[in-house]
């Protein structure tokens, strides 16, 4: 074989060589970042804002833009499906950020930025991974009669457990049972959309393990049980959506053919739950996050829960759930870049956030929510949390003390928290489980709406409810 033929990009040997180079680059990049993250002591620092910071935020904007845009561009869709390629994009953003710190502020700033990112990234990924693994070991199967009452009950149950098992865990536990229950019906799309609204997003409002933004707040020093203060808004929003869904599903149920309804009544399979041993490991995760203060001990307990789940789950359960490592590897790859590159905008907001003109809870709710709709809601939450800290003058009534000895007005924190969690439901890209649920529904033959079609649902249903909630709970 000639050298020219061997080096041709279409040749299998050449493709394998390119793949090995990519893998080596990824491994080296991760090793360097982790090494830098261990160089200095953990904790919450006050990283200096570098000069010409507008240039420094380009990697952060770039990685979030890639997440939002690449899946929608036909020429890039296939390339973006590779977690290795996602990791390379994340490493490019992280490397550019650290290089920027090195040029502007020196190696100490590089080390501090990597340390701050690493000591938030590791527990963040461990929590998501442990919940993903444990929930993936619980199989809930059933084919119930798909009446409006039954569908509403499934949605309500998912909304209740989402704060405990996480929105990703609750979505993966229940979406297949919901689809199986509704397989005899023709009108199913609105049920899946309501599932994304409630189970994949709004349901995870009450505990830090419910949704990634709230866990980042917990890592930043928000007390574990503080989010229970959101129960009134959670109950009002969830109740309104469940009522609207029930009324609309009654109308859609009446449009089903007699043949479909007869098949639905006769083709019944009772609820079957397998892998209940994982409920023990799930309880261990919740208790570890809530009670263990030492970060290393907590991280080890989370890893142990995931390991025990893999060892003790009965054979065949994960196959029933179509469990794969792809989704969590995607999150791990992308968030490595996000956590490093967001250090620049976070430091800018910490020092200059008071000048943005945001002063009221409703402003924080909508600013956080609109960005959470089109960017990932976890880093968006942190950006506006820092902004709220920047305009909080000092301790006093209605002010919450955080673990890093900073303070934040509780009314502003309510706006940030609700905006990040609730408005992650506005688009498919607002929160990680949204696309996962869409993909599973489409694999079962449900013709889900396009990106803009889904936004039509959220615009008609969610936005009026958010306006009403603003007037009732977040008014000046």
What is the Cα–Cα distance from 268 to 181, expressed in whole angstroms?
8
pLDDT for 432: 72
Is 61 inside a domain boundary?
yes
Query: In the predicted model, what is the mean pLDDT of the chain?
Result: 84
What phi and psi, each to the nearest 5 degrees, are found at residue 271? Answer: -65, 130
Is 66 inside a domain boundary?
yes
What is the Cα–Cα distance from 386 to 383, expressed in whole angstroms?
5
Task: Give residue 90's domain range.
Answer: 26-35+50-121+324-344
Is 55 inside a domain boundary?
yes
- The DSSP letter of residue 377 is H
pLDDT surpassing 60 at residue 38:
no
Q: In this predicted model, what pLDDT tens digit does every residue of 343-380 receive, in sequence order? A: 888 777 767 766 778 889 999 999 999 988 876 687 78
Q: In terms of C-beta distances under 8 Å and separation of at least 24 residues, what long-range contacts does 458-462 make, across chains too? A: 458/197, 458/425, 458/426, 458/427, 461/197, 461/241, 461/244, 462/197, 462/422, 462/423, 462/425, 462/426
Is 197 inside a domain boundary?
no
How would residue 42 be classed by pLDDT, with cut points 50, 70 and 90? very low
Question: Of all residues in the chain, what percent carry a pLDDT higher than 70?
Answer: 88
Is 442 inside a domain boundary?
no
Is 56 inside a domain boundary?
yes
Is the distance from CB of 188 to CB of 274 less than 8 angstroms?
no
- The lowest-confidence range among 12-21, 47-56, 98-107, 250-259 is 12-21
Is the distance from CB of 373 to CB of 426 less than 8 angstroms?
yes
Query: b or e along 372-402 (b: 16 or more beta carbons within 10 Å of the residue's beta carbon)?
Result: bbbbbbbbbbbbbbbbbbbbbeeeeeebbeb
Q: What share of the chain is helix, strand, coil (3-state, %, to 5)?
A: 75, 5, 25
pLDDT for 419: 96
What is the Cα–Cα distance from 363 to 347, expressed in whole angstroms?
21
Is 392 inside a domain boundary?
no
How would residue 252 be classed by pLDDT, with cut points 50, 70 and 90? very high
Distances (CA, A) of 469 to 73, 409, 426, 441: 35, 20, 15, 30
What count of other Cβ atoms lies within 10 Å of the Cβ of residue 102? 15
Q: In this predicted model, what pLDDT tens digit does every residue of 179-229 receive, in sequence order? A: 989 989 999 999 999 999 999 999 999 999 899 899 889 888 899 899 999
Mean pLDDT of 31-58: 61
Domain count for the chain, please give it: 1
pLDDT surpassing 60 at residue 4:
no
Q: E strands within 226-345?
A: 269-274
What count of other Cβ atoms lies within 10 Å of the Cβ of residue 189? 17
Is 63 inside a domain boundary?
yes
Distances (CA, A) of 193 to 136, 423, 432, 436, 438: 22, 14, 15, 12, 9
Q: Global pTM?
A: 0.77
Q: Residues with Cβ < 8 Å from 178, sequence gap 6 or more?
A: 151, 154, 155, 191, 192, 195
Mean pLDDT of 424-441: 84
CA nearest to 176, candidates 440, 419, 476, 418: 440
């Amino acid at each position: 074989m000639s050298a020219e033929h061997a080096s041709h990009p279409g040749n299998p040997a050449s493709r394998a060589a390119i793949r090995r180079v990519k893998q080596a680059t990824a491994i080296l990049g991760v090793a360097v970042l982790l090494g830098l993250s261990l160089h200095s002591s953990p904790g919450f620092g006050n990283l200096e804002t570098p000069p010409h910071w507008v240039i420094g935020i380009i990697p952060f904007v770039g990685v979030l833009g890639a997440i939002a845009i690449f899946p929608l561009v036909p020429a890039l869709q296939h390339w973006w499906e590779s977690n290795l390629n996602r990791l390379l994009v994340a490493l490019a953003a992280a490397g550019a950020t650290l290089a920027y710190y090195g040029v502007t502020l020196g190696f100490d700033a590089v080390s501090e930025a990597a340390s701050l990112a690493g000591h938030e990234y590791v527990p963040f990924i461990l929590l998501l991974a442990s919940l993903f693994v444990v929930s993936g070991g619980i199989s809930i199967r059933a084919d119930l009669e798909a009446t409006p009452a039954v569908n509403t009950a499934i949605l309500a149950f998912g909304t209740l457990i989402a704060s405990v098992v996480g929105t990703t865990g609750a979505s993966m536990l229940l979406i297949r049972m919901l689809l199986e229950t509704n397989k005899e019906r023709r009108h199913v799309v609105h049920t899946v959309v309501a599932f994304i609204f409630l189970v994949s997003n709004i349901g995870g409002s009450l505990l830090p393990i419910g949704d990634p933004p709230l866990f980042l707040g917990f890592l930043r020093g928000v007390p574990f049980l503080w989010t229970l203060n959101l129960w009134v808004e959670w109950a009002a929003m969830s109740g309104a959506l469940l009522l609207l869904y029930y009324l609309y599903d009654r109308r859609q149920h009446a449009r089903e053919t007699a043949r479909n309804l007869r098949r639905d009544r006769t083709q019944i399979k009772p609820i079957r739950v397998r892998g209940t041993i994982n409920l023990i490991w799930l309880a261990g995760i919740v208790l570890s996050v809530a009670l263990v203060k030492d970060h290393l001990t907590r991280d080890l307990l989370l890893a142990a829960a995931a390991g025990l789940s893999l060892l003790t789950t009965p054979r065949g359960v994960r196959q029933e759930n179509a469990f794969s490592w792809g989704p969590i590897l995607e999150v791990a790859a992308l968030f490595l870049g996000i956590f490093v590159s967001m250090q620049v905008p976070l430091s800018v907001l910490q020092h200059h956030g008071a000048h943005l003109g945001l002063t009221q809870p409703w402003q924080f709710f909508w600013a956080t929510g609109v960005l959470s709709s089109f960017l990932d809601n976890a880093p968006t939450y942190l950006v506006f949390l820092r902004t709220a800290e920047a305009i909080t003058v000092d301790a006093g009534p209605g002010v919450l003390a955080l673990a890093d000895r900073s303070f934040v007005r509780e009314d502003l924190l309510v706006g940030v928290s609700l905006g990040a969690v609730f408005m992650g439901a506005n688009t498919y890209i607002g929160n990680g489980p949204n696309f996962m649920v869409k993909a599973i529904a489409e694999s079962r033959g449900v013709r889900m709406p396009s990106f803009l079609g889904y936004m039509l649902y959220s615009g008609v249903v969610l936005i009026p409810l958010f306006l009403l909630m603003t007037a009732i709970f977040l008014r000046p």
